[in-house]
Amino acid sequence: MNKSSKLINWQPDRSKYPELDENGKAIIDLSSQKFIKTWQGPNHPGVTGNMSLELTISGDEVVEAKTHVGYLHRGFEKLMERRLYIQCFPTCVRMCVPEADSNEYVLAAGIEELDNIEVPEMALWLRTLVLEMARLQVLLRTVPGQASTLSLGLGGQWGMYLRDLILDRFEELTGGRIYHMFIIPGGVRGNLPSGFKDRMEENLKLIDDFIIRIEDLIFTNSVFNKRTIGVGVIDPKWVSQYGIVGPNARAAGFKRDVRKDYPYLKYNELDYDVYTRTDSDIYGRSQVRKNDLIQTVDLIRQILAKMPEKGDLRAKTPNVMHWKVPKGETYQRSESSRGEYGLYLVSDGSKYPRRANLRGPSYTHAVSLLERMLINSNISDTHAIMVSLQTCPPEIER
């Protein structure tokens, strides 16, 4: 709850509020006319994507929340069981919509591990570049997006424009803007076009300027600070209880980053630090993401400087039309902008995968954690809390 100001007596008259039981949970009696049940979503500017929150509200305090997902279930995991491995990847890429490259990477890495394929150097560098660019375009929308939930939409507009420029870079590198279909089992599907590094550097300069401007607009803003500091606090004990990963865990003081802990691709040749904070509220998480954004810009500059000029794009694999991956199972993970993103792949030695189960961070953030965090929060803060967890419904129900 917000700290009270000394000018006005802000303490609510709790006689009108529901009683609390011994756990601190409100006792809900829907016939007592103290409660309103309302739905936030699925078609709502106040949700990230298509999911809905069923809120039970007393006054303007949320006493119970339930997350309902299922509006984006496309059945990809079942579809992948009927497709060849090479046909799986256009299906897999659509599982998480905002950051599509992580899907391609974990599927390709899983297949390459099961079949012992070594990806060429150039392809590894290109994969790293593409994953960092994907993180960049997500953060360009999310970092100022936090303020949009509190009705400061200006930063979000700037961010969307710069994101569009990055999508242009994606278009000339991979051939698509949102679904890149660039990382395939064995390698990648194209090399840098000429002039790419210069155009990218121009865009990165604009982003540097943008970071300074949103620092002024959003993070040095009394309204933003008042509404986010102390709100949506994640207790550090919950990090292991709820399986929290990514910036949410880093803002609670846990130094966890898949790129450092389980290095993959070319991350062990790049120079970066993991930024943590201890305040674990919405403000803290926004700061962590802002630092991730600064770090990503720096990483892209390092990658473009260290990348070789040319090389093979794809390793030699069996004929993709009848590729039988040996029997086995594996779990591959990568760090998306939201946290640990992984794929559990089981193969039975035939041309089709037996089971491909995607683990998205929002599976726990948006369902169990959100339901816990929304209790006793103000209804005007629900959207802010949800966005601060960076929930992404497509990866919950695939």
Partner 1 sequence: MGLKELVTPFTAWKNVIKDPVTVKDPFNDRPGAERYRGFHKNDVEECIGCGTCEDICENEAIDLVPVEGIETKDGDSGLRPRLDYGRCCWCALCVDVCTTGSLTLSNEYTWVSEDPEDFRYTPGTDKKEWDDNERGWKKPEGGYEFYARERVAMPELHAEDRDKSFIEFVTGYSKQQAEEEADRCVECGICTATCPAHMGIPEYIKAIRNDDLEEGLRILYETNPLPEICGRICTHKCETVCSMGHRGDPISIRWLKRYIADQNPSEKYKEILNQGNVENNGKKVAIIGSGPSGLSAAYYLALTGYDCTIYEKLPQAGGMMRYGIPEYRLPYDQIDKDIDYILSLGVKIKYNVNIGTDFTLEQLGKDYDAVFSGTGLHLGRSTRIPGSDNENVYFATDLLREIALEDDIPVEKKIVVIGGGNVAMDITRSLARLQNIKYGKVDITATSLESEDIMPADREEVVEAREEKAIVDPGWGPKEIEIKDGKVKGLRVVKCLSVFDEKGAFSPKFDENNKKFFEADMVVESIGQGMDTGYLTEEIKSQLEFGPRGRIIVDEYFQSGLNWLFVGGDIIQGPDVIHGIANGHRAAVGIDLFLNK
Partner 2 sequence: METIINDIKARFEVSDITKQRDNFTIVTCKKELAVALVTHLKDVEKFSHLVLLSAVDWIEDNKFQITYILNNPDSRIDIGVRTFIDRETATMDSAHHLWEHVATYQRELHEMYGINFPGSPRINESFILEGWDDIPPMLRNFNTKQYSEDTFFPRPGRGSNDPAEYMKKKLYPNE
Residue nearer to partner 2 on the CB measure, 34 or 66 = 66
Site membership for partner 1, residue 133 (CB under 8 A):
no
Nearest-angstrom CA–CA distance, 54 and 67: 6
Rounded alpha-carbon distances, angstroms, from residue 335 to 8, 34, 280, 287:
46, 44, 20, 18
Contact status: 253 vs partner 1 (CB under 8 A)? no
Kindly state whether residue 74 participates in binding partner 1, applying the rule CB under 8 A.
Answer: no
Nearer CB in complex with partner 2: 172/371:
371
Per CB under 8 A, 292 contacts partner 2: no
If the CB atoms of residues 180 and 333 are measured against partner 2, the closer one turns out to be 333
Stretch that binds partner 2, among 94-102, 153-161, 186-194, 364-372 (CB under 8 A): 364-372
Q: Is 341 left (phi over 0), alpha (psi -120 to 50) or beta?
A: beta
Residue 272 burial (10 A CB sphere; 0-12, 13-18, 19+): middle
Burial class (CB in 10 A: 0-12, 13-18, 19+), 42: middle
Name which position in 28, 97, 178, 181 contacts partner 1 (CB under 8 A).
181
Query: What's the min distance (Å) between Cβ of 127 and partner 1?
Result: 14
Complete edge-to-edge strand list for the sheet that includes strand 339-347:
328-336, 339-347, 353-359
Task: Pick one of 112, 115, 335, 340: the residue that binds partner 2 (CB under 8 A).
Answer: 340
Q: How far is the CB of 327 from partner 2 (least distance, A)?
A: 11
Contact between 59 and partner 1 by CB under 8 A: the answer reads no
Binding mask 304-343 for partner 1 (x = CB under 8 A): ------xxxxx-x-xxxxx---------------------
Q: Which of 360, 384, 359 is nearest to 373 (CA)?
A: 384
Q: How far is CA 72 from CA 69, 96, 97, 99, 112, in A?
A: 8, 10, 11, 16, 29
Please report, in angstroms and rounded to a whole number, the separation of the first and last CA atoms in the chain.
35
Helix (H) / strand (E) element for 53: namely: strand 52-58
Amino acid code (one letter) for 34: K
The least CB distance from residue 318 to partner 1, in Å, is 6
Q: Are 227 and 2 in contact (CB under 8 A)?
A: no
Residue 210, contacted partner among partner 2, partner 1, none, CB below 5-8 A by kind: none
Residue 77 binds to partner 2 (criterion: CB under 8 A): yes
Residues that bind partner 1 (CB under 8 A): 83-84, 86-88, 90-91, 120, 154, 161, 168, 171-176, 179, 181, 187, 189-191, 193, 213, 216-218, 220-222, 225-226, 310-314, 316, 318-322
